[in-house]
Amino acid sequence: MVMILRSTPTSPFSRKVKIAGIVLGLEDRIVPEFADPLKADDTLRVQNPLGKMPTLLLEDGGIIYDSVVILDYLDQLAGGGKIVPADPVQRREAQTLQALGDGIMDAALLIVYEGRHRPAEKRHEPWLDYQRGKIVRAITALEAKPPVTEPNVGTIALACAFGYLDWRKQVDWRAQFPNLVAWHDRFRAAVPAFDKTYAAPKD
């Protein structure tokens, strides 16, 4: 039996799950299945009332979401203490970093949605600046002291956030934050799953 990952190929939150699955040796047990959150008749809305990705359909028939819960579940499935550190302090640090990485992705997605779903004449630039400000503040906070490169829930989230910014370019982070560019390069070298989960964007 396998678990079904309802997602899209380019979702940064779903990429977190895919990377975690590879790192934890569970890749063969996770099968991606395309989901369209905007389509009313997609079963995603039944599996997850919020209609959001990623949603994981478990082998026992259970359903869990979102990426934070899924990564914790996969870590437990792999024996625990792998990408969610067992040490309380390290766990707190990793989970806080995950919240920061997820927050960057949330803000980046809101910028994309503003351009995709709102007519040009109704787009609100102060709102876009507010979202960009979240991203810049988060990255600035990390620039002085980049995190470790080993994969945990926090570093995986941060790497996926940078990957999404590289694609959508909501903020030109590479020009402003050289220490984190170097960190990202080290993470990619240390965690081949990052490049393995890259999905070439269609737009």
51 phi, psi to nearest 5 deg = 65, 30
Burial class (CB in 10 A: 0-12, 13-18, 19+), 190: middle
For each of the domains in the chain, give its residue range(s) and CATH number, in order of start.
Answer: 3-77 (3.40.30.10), 88-193 (1.20.1050.10)
- Residue 131: beta bridge partners? none
Residue 42 parent element (H or E): none
57 phi, psi to nearest 5 deg = -95, 115
- Residue 31: beta bridge partners? 4
pLDDT at 114: 75
Eight-state DSSP code of residue 185: H
d(CA 94, CA 82): 11
pLDDT at 203: 59
Residue-level length of the chain: 203
Ordered per-residue pLDDT tens for the chain, 203 residues = 899 999 999 999 999 999 999 999 999 999 999 999 999 999 999 999 999 999 999 999 999 999 999 999 999 999 999 999 999 999 999 999 999 999 999 999 999 977 676 777 777 788 899 999 999 999 999 999 999 999 999 999 999 999 999 999 999 999 999 999 999 999 999 999 999 999 876 65
Region of residue 81 (phi > 0: left; psi between -120 and 50: alpha; otherwise: beta):
left
pLDDT at 188: 97
d(CA 92, CA 101): 14
